[in-house]
Structure 1
Amino acid sequence: MGCGRNCGLLTGVSIGAVLAVFGGALIPVGDYLVKRTIRKEDVIENGTIAYENWVVPGSPVYRQFWFYDVQNPQEVMNGSRPILKQIGPYTYRMRYLPKENITQHPDYTVSYMLPNVARFEPDMSVGSENDTFTCINLAVVAAPAMYQNSFVQILLNTWIKSSKSLMLQTRSVKEILWGYEDPFLKKVLFPVDRTIGVFYPYNGTSDGLYRVFNGKDDISKTAIIQSYKNKSTLSMWAGQCDMVNGTDGASFPPFVKKDRILRFFSSDICRSIYGIFDSEQIVKEIPLYRFSVPRAAFASPLETPENKCFCTETVLSKNCTASGALDISACKEGKPVYITLPHFLYASEDVSENIEGLSANKDEHETFLDVEPTTGFTLRFAKKLQINLLVKPAPKIDALSKLTKSYIFPVLWLNETAIIDDEKAAMFRSKVISPIKLLHLLQVVLIIVGSMMCLVLGVSYFICRSNKLSNKRDYM
């Protein structure tokens, strides 16, 4: 009986050791199985989880707009510093249609167009699209930048005066965003588009053509843009700044690490940008990594030398010493459009000192993406931008002749947001998160149970053996 009991204990120890070893072996095996599954399901090809989420946005995308209402219009037109008050949000639902013209190519790329559509959401807004406010006159302020010849500016001044246009105007939300027929431009005798707006034209148009790697031959290239409008560069900037880098931001190659720099292209700002790891987040029971666009992405070359290729020769900053403002006039048909973060977040004093009424806040005004690290899918994001125009004195144009200096004038700022909806989140948890959790739990349970069996039964074996030897000595 003693031998049988000891043999049973030794057998239990052996089984425990096997379980512990098996649990440990499941770690690399499990990682291999997870990676194998992700390599299959992350490919942008019909029939995969990635494709299902890629064709139609997995989350409703909204754009909230805040407009800057000028509180001292008469003083501003006489050269004083503007005092602004933000009004908003006015919310639109964007990008809720499937991608268009999807074409798989033999070089493991897929091309597509993004349809542009905006639907006003009154329940998520402070008012209606017909609300009006006092803002910069887009056509008048842009005119001297687009037509610098002195004789042409004299003609422009005649048409501006005859249309009774001024530096500032009163317009509705709908007009400023999506376009209105401008009275000054209607007077211009040479061919110009009479309609102007911050996002004109938008509804009924498309963004693209995008062509991205589908990841079938190399999963580390999944969703990375090969070309935009059939080009890998923008023909706007110098050197590396001109490259179309990264993805469109909706997803990234899988197996994202915290030390990775996530690069993505934004046609809104005509450049590629990047995010760095900020924090861990949990959204609808799904663990995510937050990547935020850092201050360095908008810094001057004095602080971040690699930003030198974003410099342009402007009257605002001849030596490119200003931080936080990007001149994108080259991709806006010469209109003096500047992009900043809302309320001039991260902008240097020479940019922000010319405006009153703004108050930058990092938590409220920074851009971030929350990415599920195993798959690389972006499940929540907030893209925040401010649209500004450069105003400068123009002696030959009466409406701008009283200005004493050039400065960036804010028009509006936007917050484009999305978060995975409940249905997609449930699907994601069941097909991605739960299997991974179950595998990890099985690994831990086997290791713990096996180790405990080894420990308890091993100790029991040695106690029994010690007692047996002790009894044997006593008997002798």
Structure 2
Amino acid sequence: MGCDRNCGLITGAVIGAVLAVFGGILMPVGDLLIEKTIKREVVLEEGTIAFKNWVKTGTTVYRQFWIFDVQNPEEVAKNSSKIKVKQRGPYTYRVRYLAKENITQDPKDSTVSFVQPNGAIFEPSLSVGTENDNFTVLNLAVAAAPHIYTNSFVQGVLNSLIKKSKSSMFQTRSLKELLWGYKDPFLSLVPYPISTTVGVFYPYNNTVDGVYKVFNGKDNISKVAIIDTYKGKRNLSYWESYCDMINGTDAASFPPFVEKSRTLRFFSSDICRSIYAVFGSEVNLKGIPVYRFVLPANAFASPLQNPDNHCFCTEKVISNNCTSYGVLDIGKCKEGKPVYISLPHFLHASPDVSEPIEGLNPNEDEHRTYLDVEPVSHYLTDLINILLMKLSRRIKLISSYSDTGTIGDEKAEMFRNQVTGKIKLLGLVEMVLLGVGVVMFVAFMISYCACRSKNGK
């Protein structure tokens, strides 16, 4: 009987040891299996999970607009008074709902090319009003004319046409007109070969962005979704030196296994440059642990604050010899039109930039730009506040907008079940096996030793 008991205790200890060893081995093996599966499924080619979501995003993406309604247009026009604005919004449109087109795989260099169709559908339920709401704003055509045509004789002719068309520095237009275009009465009289349609985002609907050529990750998973060329080029021809380079992805996704120390680089055709985000915090988004990467103030800093930005500085008056910051002149990529961008309400901009305007309230929590990225699989779960302002040469405010793409409940549940849930389950199994095995081994060995000691007496 003593032998049977000892054999049972030894057997229990052996089983515990086996479970512990199996749990320990499963940890690196399980990690390797996860890594192998992710590397296979994030490749941008037919049949993978990533490709299906990449062709047409399953996340609803909204573009929200806030319009700065000028409250004292007559005072500003007559007396050059400080401009007073009142923010109204949001007015929401659904975007990025169209699938990528002209998708072509190139096995020679492991790339895939495509164009992204543009489209915007107004969402009344997520808006404070309708597309027919009117706003008093800067007259884009009148403000841009002297900037585009600098010859004094031509400007004299243009001034007479401005008066003839009964146009002025400010105008009242509907939201739909301001964003997507309207026939301008002043430009209709201009004899030069120029488009008579004006709009902050004109043309947009029924256009495409691209051609993009990105790495599909088949040869090197760390390069998946990174842009190789945009419109056939690796540079933009807008800026000097390295500022002109096209870096990173298009911000819709990033290579997998994102670490906190990584700088996420991405290119935006809207702002005509590459930009970057750095780790800010860990966030739980609908049960999914994500890393929140934030656009730093340094991205729009002056060369005095951030020497790396020297090649974004232009000779425009707005730069004050490159000492002002927080605003970027992108006129060169907008056919020479006087267009500037900044974060909303001139967040992170120098005080002299917002000084002529009353009614701005920059707030870090509301107006910063951030990306929420699931670190293991590379999925972008939230994209918020790619916010820009369209400005005239004298920095008269028109609008700001936000791209917001938050993962839906159904998509979040699917992601938890297929990705984070399975990773957590595997981790739990590993810990249970290891824990139970160690406890069993120790308990049975102690019992065995105690039994031997008792029998020895």
TM-score (norm 1): 0.94
Aligned residue number for residue 433 of structure 1: 420
Aligned-partner SS, 2:385: strand
Would you say the 8 A contact 2:140–2:392 is kept in 1? Answer: no
**Using the alignment, how far apart are the partners of 1:60 and 1:317 within structure 2?**
37
Work out which of the residue numbers 395, 399, 403 in structure 2 matches 1:408. 395
> How far did 1:386 drift?
2.7
Deviates more, 1:60-69 or 1:380-389: 380-389
Aligned residue number for residue 231 of structure 1: 233
Partner amino acid, structure 2, of 1:390: S
Aligned residue number for residue 98 of structure 1: 99
Provide, for residues 356-377 of structure 1, a one-character-per-residue CA deviation record: whole Å limited to 9, x for no partner. Answer: 1010111111111111111111
**Using the alignment, how far apart are the partners of 2:453 and 2:366 within structure 1?**
70
Aligned residue number for residue 383 of structure 2: 381
Ranges in structure 1 where 5+ consecutive residues have no aligned partner: 392-406
Provide, for residues 277-303 of structure 1, a one-character-per-residue CA deviation record: whole Å limited to 9, x for no partner. Answer: 111122222211111111111111111
Aligned residue number for residue 329 of structure 1: 331
**Using the alignment, how far apart are the partners of 1:274 and 1:94 within structure 2?**
23
Would you say the 8 A contact 2:277–2:370 is kept in 1? Answer: yes
Would you say the 8 A contact 1:99–1:113 is kept in 2? Answer: yes
Would you say the 8 A contact 2:325–2:350 is kept in 1? Answer: yes
**Using the alignment, how far apart are the partners of 2:445 and 2:315 within structure 1?**
79
**Using the alignment, how far apart are the partners of 1:124 and 1:75 within structure 2?**
34
Work out which of the residue numbers 182, 185, 188 in structure 2 matches 1:183. 185
Would you say the 8 A contact 1:384–1:413 is kept in 2? Answer: no
Is it true that 1:348 corresponds to 2:335 in the alignment?
Answer: no
Aligned-partner SS, 2:387: strand
Aligned residue number for residue 434 of structure 2: 447
Aligned-partner SS, 2:150: coil
Ranges in structure 2 where 5+ consecutive residues have no aligned partner: none
> How far did 1:13 drift?
1.6
Aligned residue number for residue 305 of structure 2: 303
> How far did 1:203 drift?
0.6
Aligned residue number for residue 271 of structure 1: 273
> How far did 1:336 drift?
1.1
**Using the alignment, how far apart are the partners of 1:65 and 1:302 within structure 2?**
32
**Using the alignment, how far apart are the partners of 2:433 and 2:263 within structure 1?**
36
Is it true that 1:54 corresponds to 2:41 in the alignment?
Answer: no
**Using the alignment, how far apart are the partners of 1:185 and 1:252 within structure 2?**
43
Deviates more, 1:275-284 or 1:27-36: 275-284
Provide, for residues 412-468 of structure 1, a one-character-per-residue CA deviation record: whole Å limited to 9, x for no partner. Answer: 011110112233323322322222122111110111001111221122122222222
Partner amino acid, structure 2, of 1:178: W
Would you say the 8 A contact 1:337–1:389 is kept in 2? Answer: yes
Is it true that 1:153 corresponds to 2:140 in the alignment?
Answer: no
Is it true that 1:459 corresponds to 2:446 in the alignment?
Answer: yes
Q: RMSD between aligned alpha carbons?
A: 1.2
Residue pairs, 1:11-160, within 5 angstroms: 11-77=11-77, 78-106=79-107, 107-160=109-162
Provide, for residues 215-268 of structure 1, a one-character-per-residue CA deviation record: whole Å limited to 9, x for no partner. Answer: 011100000000111111100011111111000111100111111111111111
Count of aligned residue pairs for this structure pair: 455
Aligned-partner SS, 2:386: strand
Work out which of the residue numbers 362, 372, 375 in structure 1 matches 2:374. 372
Would you say the 8 A contact 1:345–1:360 is kept in 2? Answer: yes
Partner amino acid, structure 2, of 1:444: M
Tell me the percent identity: 62
**Using the alignment, how far apart are the partners of 1:159 and 1:36 within structure 2?**
67
**Using the alignment, how far apart are the partners of 1:261 and 1:408 within structure 2?**
31
**Using the alignment, how far apart are the partners of 1:230 and 1:253 within structure 2?**
22
Deviates more, 1:285-294 or 1:431-440: 431-440
**Using the alignment, how far apart are the partners of 2:25 and 2:242 within structure 1?**
45
TM-score (norm 2): 0.97
Provide, for residues 137-192 of structure 1, a one-character-per-residue CA deviation record: whole Å limited to 9, x for no partner. Answer: 10011111111111111111111111111111111100100001111101101111
